[in-house]
Structure 1
Amino acid sequence: MPETTPRGLTGLAFGGDYNPEQWPEHMWQEDVRLMREAGVTMVSAGIFSWALLEPAPGTYDFGWLDRLLDLLHDNGIRVDLGTPTVVPPAWFYRAHPEALPVTADGVRYEFGSRGAICHSNADYRAAAANITTRLAERYGAHPALALWHVHNEYGVPVSACYCDSCAAHFRRWLATAYGTVDAVNEAWGTAFWGQRYAGFDQINPPRTTPTVGNPAQALDYKRFADATMRENFIAERDILHRLSPGVPVTTNFMTALSQCDSVDYWAWGREVDLVTNDHYLITDGRRTHVNLAMAADLTRSVAGGAPWLLLEHSTSGVNWQPRNPAKAPGQMARNSLAHVARGSEGAMFFQWRQSRRGAEKFHSAMLPHGGTDTRVWREVVELGASVDSLRPVRGTRTEADVAMVWDWHSWWAQNLQWRPSEDHDPRERADTFYEALYDRHLTVDFAHPEADLSPYPLVVVPALYLATEAAGNNLRDYVEHGGTLVVSYFSGIVDEHDAVHEGPCPGALRDVLGLTVEEFSPLLAGERVRLTGPDGGELHGDVWTEFVVPRGADPVWTYADGLTAGRPAVTRHRLGEGTAWYVSTRLGADGLDTVLGGAAEDAGIAPRTDLPRDVEVVRRTGASGTYLFAVNHTASDAKVPLDAHGTELLTGERTAGRLAVPAGAVRVVRLDG
């Protein structure tokens, strides 16, 4: 069995993507000297190097990579070696132009970027298998090799192709999934608008149509595109397992970025030996550290709670957003160690040396254009020492308090066309629910809707438009056995084929919630509604309202105006030994916190009033002990209560009672006992 941690790495991973092919070879010695100064323990290499490794069909040049891996090994630096299959060479596309993907509008992309791949193309699959085989045969036992890195960020920037090869592949996929074309007709509801098929040969991908196409077909095509990319990953992985036994194989995920919402990471997490993730701050004015925590929690959950690895993030600004501010002093270390707190076995960056040419020359790096006499470099060296001091946490697991249900198939279905309101954004609800839990200082695990939820006293469902019968039964069983559930509006509506569940909404969830919804009543832009509740309190909602009919649930908050005035807005349903809450409108942060406060009380979760806002406290535990991470994202010094004596790993100081965490700093305490 392959290892699940980078081979030969005894501490945490610290380093980044190393692209020495962009630089004269005489600079490599200087690079490695500076890597040692910075405390680099591992680099990723070869990810974009296919054209150099195979400059012509069947002609190979491994000499430069031989020298590079030997140099890194001689200096004690481990290597995450890439298969360069995200960037086929120009010669390949000249010979096989049909391997370039085609859009739904019928436009074929051109060579000149990255990730321009039709994953159904047989010539691409053969060429990818060949270069992967050559690399594995040559480097599978190299002493520097720690990890195999297949492809790069599957699904970015292209996940689905709509060419004729994909059409044929899609038909085969449907035949396997459904067996008969009649089963496809039934699942897709093709009786609507006369779309019935008499044979598989009549089915095409959901290419551009005069108006909205079949949503069930579009949903299945998303599944097909995801499965096709995963087939290619598995093919490369299996080659590497066979020729390089014992070395773990991964590919870098982008779990919480909307740019990569075409990938079902629950499925992918089961196929990699080690879950790795890339995370970049979305600097749109929101609290970026909250999204960072969410991404780390989600990645850890995809890993089944096991340690994972942050394989890319940035030392400072990126270059691909409309505005790309630099990180503030100390923010790079804070970002990096916040990932470690939530389960990462290190902190890796894109990239080691900042490029002078190409599309990402303004993307920050560990060694910036300004060299070593820069703030970024000095912070990199300081962070390398901090990461080294945290080697005792390796192999421990992050403790979670609550769970959030998350399902990529539901996102896919929800984001298809012609829904009741374009203002309802399921990702916004997930972000807002997560932020509310974060502000209550609760560490979150994410869970598939059919997963075991029994370990969690509180489970939130911010957006589950697509909910299978199995998911509904699972949530009901969770509540009946003592769990507390909070569900947001427009959840439980359709089954796995985007067909509305038989009977009143919310379909699969009406039993656990103890109510039905007679009608959705989305609000117009700018409209708001008032809610009145216990003791005369008042909340406000926007975007969405519903005509809710309690069927065992008790109204807690009631609509005070609008079309739904007098109807329940927030309900609470006692079921078995547990409680299910339902929120039928979009509440802002304060209103949502009020509801979650009531649910937390039901769940027996005490409020953490002893912790300031934006000071996060997370625990990792394992055979080596219990470690408390305190991350202060504020401009003021903070005090964090400790329930045991301990040793602070970054400073070496003994601690007891209360831990002082300076403004913008991180402290990590190994608790005694």
Structure 2
Amino acid sequence: MARDPGGQVNDRLRHFHDRLGSLAYGGDYNPEQWGPDVHAEDTELMRKAGVNLATVGIFSWAKAEPAPGTYEFDWLDTHLDRLAGAGVRVCLATMTASPPAWLARLHPETLPVLEDGTRLYPGSRQHWCPSSPVFRDRATRLVEQLAARYADHPALALWHIGNEYGCHISRHCHCEVSTAAFRNWLRERYGTVDALNDAWCTDFWAQRYGDFEEIHTPRSAPSFRNPAQQLDYRRFSSDELLACYLAEKQVLDRLTPTVPVTTNFVPVARTLDLFRWAPHLDVISYDSYPDPHDPDSAHGTAFAYDVMRGLKDGQPWLLMEQAPSAVNWRPRNGRKPDGRMRLDSWQAIAHGADSVLFFQWRQSRGGAEKFHSAMVPHGGPDTRIFREVSALGAELAEHPGLFGSLPERADAALLLDWPSWWALELDAHPSCDVTLLDTALAHHRPLYDASVACDIVPADGELGPYRLLIVPNLYSVSAATAARIADWVRAGGTLVMSYFSGITDEHDRVHLGGYPAPFREVLGLRVEEFDPLPEGTTLPLGPDGGTASIWSEDIVLEGAEPVFSLGDGRPAVTRHPYGDGTAWYLATRPDPATLRTLMDRIRSEASVEPTEPGLPEGVQVRTRIAADGRRLRIRLDRRDGSVTVSDG
């Protein structure tokens, strides 16, 4: 169960914990797509599958409010009463993810506009402008009705606001309403237009502004757009979507103060600054869709789960969506082979999940997601998928001690910062091959393969508990954050920093004084010039015959010692004692085997050990701490698909 910084149980999550009592199991339930005969079968099949939580109403706005101000909830009363009678609790959605057609007809100004002026229309989902006061007003009116009606319903365990914020409209609105909102956001951030001009370096290309009213969102332009403007628009877009979420949460907090609130994040991407969102969720929720055709998908999934766990400092989180088998939205949608769904589900629990939920309960007959797998497929219960779903439900029920148990804190951490990510991948940079997620995964992989637990921390997070800090491509960083990292190393920490870090400040202005200026002292070096590699090129990396790719640099050593060098003698990996700690710098991307060897050495020197030593490749172990103090160890073996849960 999640705890606040003082160690006390969060009262809202106590409500959720008391309503469930064990790991949450179930998924999105859309009874409005079906008739009474199917509803009766659903109730029986949920019992058979061990379902104890259903997410209801995600896309039900049009049914709940078929005309402006006309609310119809009798159908929902029936379903919630039926679920409660069957012992199934409900994660009730606010229904605002996809507005009804009448809103666009009466208020076309609520529709989002692309940077080239194209307006997006209904017929899909998320067809709304995040800055629209009309949309927010209509959404909160609906939430008022829902919260007042169902506040004391015995099925209600959790509120679910919206759905997958930023999945389709993270940066898609450039209408006049959004433009005005962006100007207001800039006024609040900078105070004066002169301060903005300084932050945006607008003397370049005669971009200086005399008034905030002269500023637009970064729309289509003849050439490269101002990078600081693009970066601030990313911040603004994340904040505007958060404002939509908070408008609904404010209503729920007022009318149902003891019921926890969440929303489901999409697979880790550039869209939202999740660390900025996290304080406003009572519990983190995540949608996970690893590709069965990708042999490395388990690692990317593990990284994402570490991010979710890190958003609220190690608290348990909810796997809100996954697929029992195939999805519908990839170019080629492979099925999950026998046992894969079970293994994927246990991986989430091993990394801190308190639920295993699916999209969706029953496979839709029509619509864009009719070929997305579900717990009850088109073929009904006499299918492989439903048999596996039922077996997993029974298995999870055998481990009640896992629910609310805390993931064991790691000794290693990886720093992730969304504004730096946004800035790193803007245009007009030395190489388009430098992307944050790719670099982060490459640095996380050696720890994952060695079954070394790794927390994901924000740039302003607490570093004290960790022995090893990995900082991949921290391109944009404030002087204060850089100083905190240096102080942590000086106090005894081990830092691993990759290339193209510490280059600009929070406004994307270059730190002067030689790259990477704020980290020169702690790293013991100066980067004189970047030398990104041509596409597909590798360089020899010694002394052990490895290779380097993507990037290289001309380094001047200022106290650091070279550990690996490129074939032409340039330092590629350096080590620098600093105070009581050590700072490592990677001026290139070593090949995976070389990086694994290097990281094994570094973590060994930092006394960072695997959860269970001596594991073969393909086996990971993670530990959770139960309320009674027991250490629950979950062992995942991807060689044969086995899962073991034990004390120890």
TM-score bracket for the superposition, by shorter chain length: over 0.9
Q: Deviations over 1:44-99 (max 9, x none)?
A: 00110000000001111101000000000111100000011111100010001111
- For residues 340 and 161 of structure 2, what CA distance do their matches in structure 1 show? 30
Q: Among 325, 345, 357, which residue is 1:348 paired with?
A: 357
Give the equivalent residue in structure 2 for 1:84. 95
Amino acid paired to 2:265: F
Q: CA deviation at 1:252?
A: 0.6
Is 1:330 matched with 2:368?
no
Secondary structure, in 3 states, of the residue corresponding to 2:644? strand
Partner of 1:377: 386
2:300 alignment partner AA? N
- 2: CA distance, partners of 1:231 / 1:279: 25
Give, as a single letter, the amino acid of the residue that structure 2 aligns with 1:13. Answer: A
Change (3 A) 1:252 1:606: closer
Separation in 1, partners of 2:293, 2:200: 38
Q: Give 1:605's match in structure 2, choosing from 595, 604, 608.
A: 608
Q: Give the aligned partner of residue 185 of structure 2.
A: 173
Question: In the TM superposition, what is the alpha-carbon distance from 1:333 to its structure 2 partner?
Answer: 0.8
Task: Tell me, yes or no, if structure 1 residue 669 matches structure 2 residue 636.
Answer: no
Does the 8 Å contact 1:151/1:251 carry over to 2?
A: yes
CA–CA separation in structure 1 for the residues paired with 2:530 and 2:189 = 33
Structure-1 residue corresponding to 2:368: 359
Where 1:3 maps in the other structure, the secondary structure is: helix
- Kindly state the Cα deviation for residue 523 of structure 1 after the two structures are TM-superposed: 1.0
The answer (yes or no) to whether the contact 2:401–2:626 under 8 Å persists in 1 is no
> Counterpart of 1:650?
none
Query: Gapped runs of 5+ residues in structure 1?
Result: 635-662
Deviation of residue 474 (structure 1)? 1.6
Aligned match of 1:388 in 397, 401, 410?
Answer: 397
SS at match of 1:126: helix
Superposition deviation, residue 606 in structure 1: 4.6
User: What's the CA shift for 1:352?
Assistant: 0.2
Q: Contact 1:255/1:298 (CA < 8 Å) preserved in 2? A: no
Q: 2:457 is matched by which residue type in structure 1?
A: A
Matched, 1:583 2:590: no
Q: Which amino acid aligns with 1:669?
A: S
Native 8 Å contact 1:2 1:273 kept in 2:
no
Match in the other structure for 2:254 = 242
Distance 2:426 2:293 in 1: 25
Which structure exhibits the higher relative contact order, with contacts defined as CA atoms closer than 8 Å and separated by 6 or more residues?
Answer: 2
Instruction: Indicate whether 1:299 and 2:308 are aligned.
Output: yes
State how far apart, in whole Å, the 1-side matches of 2:609 and 2:376 are.
45
Q: Which whole-Å CA distance do the structure 1 matches of 2:266 and 2:230 have between them?
A: 23
The SS at the match of 2:305 is helix
Partner of 1:417: 427
String of CA shifts for 1:77-131, please: whole Å, max 9, x gaps.
Answer: 0000001111110001000111110000000001111111101111101100100
Instruction: Please give the alpha-carbon distance, in whole angstroms, between the structure 2 residues aligned to 1:396 and 1:83.
Output: 28
The yes-or-no answer on 1:128 pairing with 2:143 is no
Partner of 1:655: none
Provide closer, same or farther for how the CA distance between residues 463 and 613 of structure 1 changes in structure 2, counting only shifts above 3 A: same
Q: Counterpart in 1 of 2:576? A: 573
Q: Which amino acid aligns with 2:253?
A: H
Q: SS of the residue aligned with 2:620?
A: strand
CA contact (8 A) 1:346 1:387 kept: no
Cα shift at 1:585: 0.8
RMSD of aligned residue pairs (Cα, Å): 1.3
Aligned length: 633
TM superposition shift of 1:507:
2.4
Runs of at least 4 residues off by over 6 Å: none
Cα distance in 1 between the residues matched to 2:324 and 2:287? 13
- Separation in structure 2 between the aligned mates of residue 462 and residue 559 of structure 1, nearest angstrom: 20
Deviation at 1:450, TM superposition (A): 2.3
Q: Does 1:628 align with 2:633?
A: yes
Q: 2:481 aligns with which of 465, 471, 477?
A: 471
423, 440, 443: which one aligns with 2:450: 440
Q: Matched residues in 1 for 2:478 and 2:521: separation?
A: 14
- Name 2:114's counterpart in structure 1: 103
* 1:283, distance to aligned residue in structure 2 (A): 4.5
Residue identity matched to 2:80: L
1:232-270 Cα deviation digits (max 9, x unpaired): 1111001011111200011111252x3xx2101101111
Which residue identity is paired with 2:117? G
Which residue number in structure 2 is paired with residue 617 of structure 1? 621
* CA deviation map 1:477-516 (0-9, x unaligned): 1111111111111111111101111211112222221111
CA distance in 2 between partners of 1:181 and 1:199 (Å): 6
- Whether the 8 Å contact between 2:104 and 2:122 is mirrored in structure 1 is yes
Note if contact 1:279-1:313 (Cα within 8 Å) is conserved in structure 2.
yes
Displacement of 1:284 after TM fit?
5.4
Kindly indicate whether the alpha-carbon contact (under 8 Å) linking 1:479 and 1:575 is maintained by their aligned counterparts in 2. Answer: yes
Deviation at 1:609, TM superposition (A): 5.6
**Counterpart residue identity of residue 635, structure 2:** A
Compute the displacement of 1:425 (Å).
2.1
Q: Deviations over 1:370-424 (max 9, x none)?
A: 1111111110010001111121112211122311011111111111111101122
Would you say the 8 A contact 2:467–2:606 is kept in 1?
Answer: yes
| Secondary structure, aligned partner of 1:4 | helix
CA distance in structure 2 between the aligned counterparts of 1:522 and 1:431, rounded to whole angstroms: 20
1:266-345 paired onto structure 2 within 5 Å: 266-283=275-292, 285-345=294-354
Q: Which amino acid letter does the alignment assign opposite residue 321 of structure 1?
A: R
Indicate if the aligned counterparts of 1:255 and 1:299 stay in contact, CA closer than 8 A.
no
> Take 1:443 and 1:271, find their aligned partners in 2: how far apart are those partners?
26
Contact 1:615 1:633 in 2 (8 A): yes
Q: Distance in 2 between matches of 1:414 and 1:153?
A: 24
Instruction: Give the Å deviation of 1:285.
Output: 2.8
Say whether the 8 Å CA contact 1:255–1:265 is kept in structure 2. Answer: no
Match of 1:540 in 2: 547
Q: Please state how far the C-alpha of 1:303 moved relative to its aligned partner.
A: 2.1
| 3-state SS of paired residue (2:63) | helix
Output the CA distance in 2 between the equivalents of 1:284 and 1:210: 40
User: Which residue of 1 is the match for residue 557 of structure 2?
Assistant: 550
Q: 1:406·1:449 contact (CA, 8 Å) conserved in 2?
A: yes
Contact 2:292/2:336, CA 8 A, preserved across alignment: no
Which whole-Å deviations, capped at 9, do the CAs of 1:208-245 have from their partners, x for residues lacking one? 10001100000000100100110111110010111112
108-117 vs 461-470, greater mean Cα deviation: 461-470
Residue 150 of structure 2 corresponds to residue 139 of structure 1:
yes
Alignment partners' CA distance in 2, 1:225 and 1:156: 12
Partner amino acid, structure 2, of 1:32: T
1:240 alignment partner, SS class? helix
Does the 8 Å contact 1:524/1:543 carry over to 2?
yes
Instruction: Give the Cα separation in 2 of the matches to 1:315 and 1:263.
Output: 27
Counterpart contact for 1:148–1:247, Cα < 8 Å: yes
Cα distance in 1 for partners of 2:328, 2:631 equals 38
> Identity over aligned residues, as a percent?
46
Check conservation: 2:167, 2:266, Cα contact below 8 A. no
How far apart, in 2, do the equivalents of 1:417 and 1:306 lie? 36
Provide the rounded CA distance (Å) in 2 between the counterparts of 1:233 and 1:253: 12
Alignment of 1:636-651 (within 5 A): none
Structure 2 residue aligned with 1:647: none
Q: Secondary structure at the match of 1:270?
A: helix
Structure 1 CA distance, aligned partners of 2:594 and 2:439? 13
What is the aligned counterpart of 1:207 among 210, 219, 222? 219
Find the aligned partners of 1:130 and 1:221 in 2 and give their Cα distance: 28
SS at match of 1:43: strand
**TM-score normalised to structure 2 length:** 0.96
Q: Could you tell me which residue of structure 1 aligns to residue 469 of structure 2? A: 459
In structure 1, how many angstroms separate the alpha carbons of the residues matched to 2:11 and 2:183? Answer: 35
Checking the alignment, whether the CA contact within 8 Å between 1:407 and 1:464 is kept in structure 2 is yes
Q: Distance in 2 between matches of 1:277 and 1:42?
A: 16
Shift of 1:538: 2.2
Equivalent pair of 1:450/1:470 in contact (CA under 8 Å): no
Letter in 1 for 2:78: R
